[in-house]
Amino acid sequence: MPELVDLRAVEHAYRTKAGPVPALGPLDLRVAAGEFVVVVGPSGSGKSTLLRVLAGFERPSTGDITLLGHPPVPGRDVGVVFQQPRLFPWRTVAGNIGAALRWADVPKPNRPARTAELLSSVGLGDLGTRRIWEISGGQQQRVAIARALAAQPRLLLMDEPFAALDALTRERLQEDVRSLAEGDRAVVFVTHSVDEAVFLGTRIIVLTDRPGRIALDLPIDLPRHAVPADELRGSPQYAALRGEVAAAVRATVS
Ligand SMILES: Nc1ncnc2c1ncn2[C@@H]1O[C@H](COP(=O)(O)OP(=O)(O)OP(=O)(O)O)[C@@H](O)[C@H]1O
Ligand SMILES: [Mg+2]
């Protein structure tokens, strides 16, 4: 069985008029199904570049990347959620999901049931007929997550998806997305929040300053499903991990 994600000696530099800008690597990374990998690091350290490479939007300058044994093809295998939901404002909630199902080649007769299923999986079961401007920012981000799941991707990439939300909405969404990396799917999630990283990750990767290399690769072994979210956030184990990750992030910029 090929590894879900396999990056070997990957480096990426952007080409600009002033010359190449090294943004990422060299970096080796393997991710297995079921992992929820959270990437943290200073601004400009190459986190979004890593996601773009994983999504197949950018081909790395050097090194090899494979998803399930083949180079990533944008829109296939991989779902992406950005900081802003980037929905079609003129469509309804269900219409946005329907469009994604069409791109994913889901036959038309199957789309209404799949739409209902996807919306209910993100807690929006009854909002299908609303327009995008008639729902809140947190609900819009839920639609964006449902849309990213439309093609049943094995890999879900999330780039600071909750950064623009208020604290309470953010906590609720964090609790809901923890289960997205179960079964045969993996998630790679970028955040600036160490707290969010420890709460969500089964593994945390801290990137160095640009070009981003792996400064820390830390498995997080918290009893996340066995105890209520509040209890987890208040536990000494959680505080210790948060301290360890925060120190590693500080060390990248000193
Ligand atoms: N299209 C581009 N052309 C040239 N340089 C770029 C381009 N996109 C990003 N960069 C540069 O590559 C580096 C990494 O950028 P990237 O967006 O991956 O950082 P990041 O870790 O996601 O930052 P942030 O936390 O601010 O989102 C930065 O120095 C950035 O200026
Ligand atoms: Mg970024």
Q: What is the DSSP string of 11-61?
A: EEEEEETTEEEEEEEEEEEEE-TT-EEEEE--TTSSHHHHHHHHHTSS--S
Report CA(108)–ligand 1 centroid distance (Å).
Answer: 39
As a whole number, mean pLDDT of residues 93-103 equals: 96
> Is residue 6 pLDDT above 70, yes or no?
yes
The single-letter code of the amino acid at 114 is R
| Mean pLDDT taken over the chain | 94
- Is residue 104 within 8 A of residue 151, CB to CB? The reply is yes
> Is residue 94 pLDDT above 70, yes or no?
yes
Counting ligands in written order, the one closest to the CA of 50 is 1
Identify the pLDDT of residue 190.
98
Ligand 1 site residues, Cβ closer than 6 angstroms: 14, 16, 21, 23, 41, 43-49, 210
Per residue in 62-83, pLDDT (tens digit) is 999 999 999 988 777 899 999 9
Report CA(225)–ligand 1 centroid distance (Å).
Answer: 35
Report CA(43)–ligand 1 centroid distance (Å).
Answer: 8
Counting ligands in written order, the one closest to the CA of 52 is 1
Per residue in 147-178, pLDDT (tens digit) is 999 999 999 999 999 999 999 999 999 999 99
Identify the pLDDT of residue 1.
64
- The closest residue, in CA terms, to atom 3 on ligand 1 is 14
**Higher pLDDT pick, 6 / 3:** 6
Longest dimension (CA), the chain: 57
* Residue-range domains of the chain with CATH: 5-77+154-253 (3.40.50.300), 88-152 (no CATH)
